Amino acid sequence: MSKMSGMTAGELIDHLSKLDPKTPVALAYPSGDYWRTTVAVGVSEGSETRLRWSEYHGKHKVLDEDEEGGDDNGNGVLAAVLS
């Protein structure tokens, strides 16, 4: 499984273009606590990054600069990554 699911860059641009330019951007994720709280962190940068499917993690892994792209099938994904 190397295909990314979720929003495309065009969809993100369309959504962001409707907001006030001073609106903060954050990523929400489950905290893993007992109450299943969703928490958020601010986005500090964005980049175009190569990802590879990780069976161990059950999701895509951001590749280090010295790692080769591609999963077990030789497929890699170039994605816009916010961090």
Per-residue confidence (pLDDT) for residue 70, from 0 to 100: 56
Q: For the chain, what are the domain ranges?
A: 9-82
What average pLDDT does range 68-81 have in this prediction? 70
Q: Please state the pTM of the whole predicted model.
A: 0.70
Helix (H) or strand (E) holding 30: strand 26-30
6: left (phi over 0), alpha (psi -120 to 50) or beta: left
- Per residue in 1-21, pLDDT (tens digit) is 457 788 999 999 999 999 999
- Per residue in 42-70, pLDDT (tens digit) is 999 999 988 888 889 988 899 887 776 65
> 3-state class of 35 per DSSP?
coil
Which carries the bigger pLDDT value, residue 79 or residue 5?
Answer: 79
Cβ–Cβ under 8 Å, residues 22 and 5: no
Going by C-alpha positions, the residue among 63, 71, 57 that lies closest to residue 2 is: 71
Largest CA distance in the chain: 42
